[in-house]
Amino acid sequence: MTTSSSALLSVGDIDLCVETSGDPRDPPVLLIAGMSASMLWWPVAVCEAIAAAGFFVIRFDQRDTGVSTSFPVGRPGYSTANLAADALGICDSLRLDSVHVVGHSLGSGIATILALDHPERVRSLTLMGASTGAADLPPAIGRGPELPDGVASRSAAIEYLLEDTRACDGLSPRFDEDRIRKFLVSDVDRAVDIAATISNPPGMRFVSPEGGDMTAIAHPTLVVHGELDSLFPLAHGEAVAHAIPGASLVVLPGAGHTLLTADTWDFTPPVIGHLRAAER
């Protein structure tokens, strides 16, 4: 049985909600979610399985998500470099010198910044739903809803997020609208400011790592990508795996971009195997 706890940690001048699972003496694994995604987008079953395999698992609400610090709508005032610094701040608060980093989508971008600019803090990388950003890669297949000027109501937020998720996952046969809507309701109802969650992250500054591009990553790396990802078609994941020396690729059959349409048992065992191999 794994144990879990949550706390609001002060990191610099903001507060971040952090939840841990497992034994703090075990090797730590930091999970970084995608854009506008709270910690809930990392399934509890995945956290528990990784913890049961002998790891100390950390998931958290990034800025403007969940119950972490929210910024004025339309004025995020932060960058991807700040999000990377937040991740390091959590590690410092938990007294962790280095961690295995598992990122999804934007979280993979943050993980890449950590690996390139703070390599001594990273034990291994798992990059899910990632892209190199190369101009010659296929464009998004789906088209999400226009970013609203404001979120008028709870129901409007849920509908916006449902259509945004459909744009990412709509090609997957596992796109179950009722199930996904239920999940989104729980995420929206937990958020301190869902308008900030929707509006601010897309408006942040995106900066490149100072330590080079993905070809300079020297950590053991696993790339995981949905077969039917509409936001970053599979060629993006293949490009990431090709760019990083020694990286391996796991394709999730029938999955879209988010983990809402992935079978957790298609990716959890390979992730655990990767973490164990990196520890050896």
Check residues 144 and 233 and name the one with the higher pLDDT: 233
**The pair of three-digit structure tokens given for residue 112, joined into one six-digit string:** 């890449």
**The pair of three-digit structure tokens given for residue 266, joined into one six-digit string:** 């298609």
Mean pLDDT of 26-41: 98
Mean pLDDT of 144-162: 89
In this predicted structure, the answer to whether residue 5 has a pLDDT above a threshold of 90 is no
Mean pLDDT of 218-228: 98
Inter-residue contact 193 to 168 (CB < 8 Å): no
State the alpha helices, DSSP H only, in the chain. 44-52, 80-93, 106-117, 154-169, 177-190, 194-199, 234-243, 264-279
pLDDT digits (tens, 9 = 90+) for 111-134: 999 999 999 999 999 999 999 999
Q: Give the pLDDT of residue 1.
A: 47
* DSSP letter for each residue of 110-143: HHHHHHHH-GGGEEEEEEES-----TTSPPPSS-
Q: Give the pLDDT of residue 148.
A: 81
Mean pLDDT of 200-216: 96
Residue 186 DSSP SS3: helix
Alpha-carbon dihedral angle through residues 43, 48, 50, 55, given to the nearest 10 degrees: 130
**The pair of three-digit structure tokens given for residue 122, joined into one six-digit string:** 């990273």
pLDDT band at 43 (very low <50, low <70, confident <90, very high): very high
Q: Give the pLDDT of residue 2.
A: 60
Residue 272 DSSP SS3: helix
Residue 39 per-residue DSSP state: G
Mean pLDDT of 224-238: 98
In this predicted structure, the answer to whether residue 147 has a pLDDT above a threshold of 80 is yes
Instruction: State pTM to two decimals.
Output: 0.96
